[in-house]
């Protein structure tokens, strides 16, 4: 909670100003009924027009003051609440940025989006009303009780009956509403998740004619959310008429009892009028407070969900005593590495040891699911090894700050990811201050220049959201250029040539080897043609190393490798 509330800190001047204005508004509003009583008791009873005009003028002045204070309070509380929301969203975003892949998996992307948007909006709304109502209502309620009791002490017993009844109604209803509000946020998560899957998977959905199925899935989630919302609103629907009934019965009781007093000449008409107005203020304030009780549980559900994100400790953290060498050679070594994904039964990698040297190409090949991408995940420190260690120039990568480690590596993921922006901007993602020449050169090596220059706007061509306006192979080459422009010490290509035709794949590797003479190259691939010229090939089989060596040796000595080769190459190609 402290972490959430700390986001209010920068806005305390607005909160303070809003409280002062609210106080002024409450005071002005409290003065009005007693002035009205004065007009009736003195002005009207004595038919003193001058008095009526004088006090009426004062009333107008006070009422205008109340309006001004209300506007100012509203402005200040809105500024504070909106600022709070902005700052909270920033905090969540920053926290999420520090998550390792495991934390993303735990909460889920759709839920993280809802928590950053919808849940924060809930808190923002509550904060705005909170500043106004929680301060205004008690001041008004207490002030009105004091004024009412001093105006007509004999009628004040009414409050001892009415206020507890209103409070009781609210407490009971809020007990039912909390679980419903919690459920509602979860349902919003589900709607978002289904929507997200539908938008990203639209091509597959259409290709497999599953539009109807997806409609049903979305409808189910949507109806689920609607049902919970209806139940919540049913509670609200009960509450408002109940409170209005209490309001009206109370007014009737006051008028009836008051008129008896007036008849008996114990009370003046003006005092009864003032008393009714104070009674209204008291009941209205109690109702507003009760609305807070309804909103607070809803906000509490959102607070819980935001707290879960803010309190989640990322598993991958920077070392306390980091080692940051000025210069590295790029010798990457796996030393008896075993790794099990969180929640997985079996390790994805077992006892992996190898050394990748600068100026050499190390290729990793194996069947699907053999653990190739897991190796790249570990090198990037998206996950930490379960046992053993990975070193660069002899330094355990857990002793190197993540930022520094990742600055040494040019990573091309298995699934190409591009961002909305121009092609040049996407390539510059690898090196922010890369010159146009550097960008062009990187594209040249990545065999991307030709198709980029063929586009109407060349390097300034806009990439649509998710890179939908370029082909799979083009996307891959832009991603490769992004890594090349960085001029890293270590290249990590995770099955990054899979969408390229054989000719482009070969040309790219030749151009790359010229450019990266002193860099350590790690190429994960499924295709034998991509790896067969590597200086060393690591053959993975169900998370274990089945063989390490050059193409020829492995073909002769490693059965797993031979089987992969035989399944892909013809006799002449092997020879
Ligand atoms: N996040 C994860 N949580 C649990 N298990 C995982 C996770 N990611 C991968 N695995 C498992 O780890 C094993 C190795 O997966 P990995 O992605 O490294 O294989 P791969 O050789 O790269 O396969 P492919 O060639 O199909 O990409 C597989 O059995 C897979 O099911």
C-beta of residue 463 within 8 angstroms of C-beta of residue 418: yes
C-beta of residue 62 within 8 angstroms of C-beta of residue 109: no
For ligand 1, say whether the CB of 366 is within 6 Å of any of its atoms: yes
Longest dimension (CA), the chain: 121
For ligand 1, say whether the CB of 402 is within 6 Å of any of its atoms: no
For ligand 1, say whether the CB of 184 is within 6 Å of any of its atoms: no
Q: Which domain holds residue 433?
A: 332-574
Pairing of strands 361-366, 536-541: parallel
For residue 524, give the 3-state DSSP assignment: strand
* CATH code of the domain covering residue 341: 3.40.50.300
CB atoms within 10 A of CB 314: 15
pLDDT at 225: 93
Q: Do residues 129 and 228 share a domain?
A: yes
Q: Do residues 477 and 420 share a domain?
A: yes
User: Which pLDDT tens digit goes with each residue over 340-359?
Assistant: 998 888 999 999 999 999 99
pLDDT at 572: 59
Give the ligand 1 atom nearest the CA of 374: 18
Q: Which long-range contacts (CB under 8 A, 24 or more apart) does 506-514 make?
A: 507/447, 508/445, 508/446, 508/447, 508/477, 508/480, 509/533, 511/444, 511/445, 511/447, 512/445, 512/484, 513/361
| Residue closest by Cα to atom 30 of ligand 1 | 369
Q: Do residues 298 and 404 share a domain?
A: no
pLDDT at 294: 66
Task: Tell me: ipTM over 0.90.
Answer: yes
| Residue 373 alpha carbon to ligand 1 centre in Å | 7
| Residue closest by Cα to atom 24 of ligand 1 | 368
For ligand 1, say whether the CB of 373 is within 6 Å of any of its atoms: yes
Phi, psi (degrees; rounded to nearest 5) at 420: -65, 130
Residue 21 lies in a domain: yes
| Residue 101 alpha carbon to ligand 1 centre in Å | 13
For ligand 1, say whether the CB of 496 is within 6 Å of any of its atoms: no
C-beta of residue 35 within 8 angstroms of C-beta of residue 59: yes
For ligand 1, say whether the CB of 369 is within 6 Å of any of its atoms: yes
Q: Which two tokens stand for residue 218?
A: 């979305």
Residue ranges of the chain whose pLDDT lies below 70: 293-294, 297, 569-575
Q: Do residues 253 and 387 share a domain?
A: no
Give the ligand 1 atom nearest the CA of 414: 27
**How many residues in total does the chain contain?**
575
Q: What distance in Å separates the CA atoms of residue 107 and residue 193, rounded to the nearest whole number?
A: 12
Number of structural domains in the chain: 2
Q: Do residues 113 and 256 share a domain?
A: yes
* Residue linked to tokens 């009737």: 252
Q: Do residues 341 and 295 share a domain?
A: no
pLDDT at 236: 80
Q: What distance in Å separates the CA atoms of residue 144 and residue 167, rounded to the nearest whole number?
A: 17
pLDDT at 540: 93
For ligand 1, say whether the CB of 368 is within 6 Å of any of its atoms: yes
* Residue linked to tokens 């201050």: 433
Which of the 8 DSSP states describes residue 53?
H
Which of the 8 DSSP states describes residue 116?
I
Q: Do residues 294 and 353 share a domain?
A: no
User: Which pLDDT tens digit goes with each residue over 269-317?
Assistant: 888 888 998 888 888 888 787 777 667 767 887 888 899 899 888 888 8
For ligand 1, say whether the CB of 344 is within 6 Å of any of its atoms: yes
Q: What distance in Å separates the CA atoms of residue 519 and residue 409, rounded to the nearest whole number?
A: 10
For ligand 1, say whether the CB of 371 is within 6 Å of any of its atoms: yes
* CATH code of the domain covering residue 280: 1.20.1560.10
C-beta of residue 450 within 8 angstroms of C-beta of residue 394: no
């Amino acid at each position: 909670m402290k972490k959430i509330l700390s986001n209010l800190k920068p806005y305390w001047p607005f909160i303070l100003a809003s409280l002062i204005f609210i106080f002024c508004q409450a005071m002005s509003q409290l003065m009005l009924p007693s002035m009205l009583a004065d007009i009736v008791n003195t002005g009207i009873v004595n038919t003193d027009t001058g008095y009526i005009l004088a006090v009426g003028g004062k009333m107008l002045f006070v009422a205008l003051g109340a309006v001004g204070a209300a506007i100012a309070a509203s402005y200040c509380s809105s500024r504070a609440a909106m600022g709070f929301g902005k700052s909270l969203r920033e905090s969540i975003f920053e926290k999420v940025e520090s998550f390792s892949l495991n934390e993303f998996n735990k909460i889920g992307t759709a839920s993280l989006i809802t928590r950053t948007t919808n849940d924060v909006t809930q808190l923002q709304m509550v904060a705005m009303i909170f500043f106004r109502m929680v301060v205004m209502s008690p001041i008004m309620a207490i002030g009105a009780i004091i004024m009412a009791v001093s105006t007509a002490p004999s009628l004040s017993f009414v409050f001892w009956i009415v206020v507890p009844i209103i409070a009781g109604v609210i407490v009971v209803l809020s007990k039912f509403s909390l679980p419903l509000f919690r459920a509602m946020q979860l349902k919003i998560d589900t709607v978002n998740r289904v929507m997200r899957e539908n938008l990203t998977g639209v091509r597959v959905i259409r290709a497999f004619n599953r539009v109807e199925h997806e409609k049903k899935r979305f409808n189910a989630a949507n109806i689920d959310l609607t049902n919970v919302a209806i139940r919540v609103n049913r509670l609200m629907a009960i509450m408002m008429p109940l409170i209005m009934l209490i309001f009206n019965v109370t007014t009737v009781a006051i008028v009836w009892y008051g008129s008896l007093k007036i008849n008996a000449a114990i009370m003046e008409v003006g005092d009864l009028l003032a008393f009714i107005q104070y009674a209204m203020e008291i009941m209205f304030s109690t109702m507003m407070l009760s609305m807070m009780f309804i909103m607070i549980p809803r906000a509490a559900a959102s607070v819980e969900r935001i707290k879960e994100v803010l309190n989640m400790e990322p598993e991958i953290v920077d070392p306390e005593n980091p080692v940051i060498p000025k210069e590295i050679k790029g010798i990457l070594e796996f030393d008896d590495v075993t790794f099990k994904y969180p929640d997985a039964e079996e390790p994805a990698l077992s006892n992996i040891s190898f050394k990748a040297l600068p100026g050499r190409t190390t290729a990793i090949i194996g069947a699907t699911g053999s653990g190739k991408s897991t190796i790249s995940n570990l090198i990037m420190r998206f996950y930490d090894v379960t046992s053993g260690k990975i070193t660069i120039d002899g330094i355990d990568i857990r002793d190197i700050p993540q930022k520094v480690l990742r600055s040494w590596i040019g990573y091309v993921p298995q699934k190409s990811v591009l961002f909305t922006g121009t092609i040049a901007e996407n390539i510059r993602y690898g090196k922010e201050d890369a010159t146009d020449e550097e960008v062009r050169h990187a594209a040249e090596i990545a065999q991307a220049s030709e198709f980029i220059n063929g586009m109407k706007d060349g390097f300034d061509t806009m990439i649509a959201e998710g890179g939908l306006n370029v082909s799979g192979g083009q996307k891959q080459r832009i991603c490769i250029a992004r890594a090349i422009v960085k001029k890293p010490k270590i290249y990590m290509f995770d099955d990054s040539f899979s969408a390229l035709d054989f000719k482009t794949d070969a040309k790219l590797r030749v151009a790359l080897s010229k450019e990266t003479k002193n860099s350590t190259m790690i190429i994960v691939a499924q295709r034998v043609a991509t790896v067969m010229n590597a200086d060393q090939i690591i053959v993975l089989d169900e998370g274990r190393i089945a063989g390490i060596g050059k193409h020829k040796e492995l073909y002769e000595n490693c059965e797993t490798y031979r089987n992969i080769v035989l399944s892909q190459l013809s006799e002449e190609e092997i020879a």
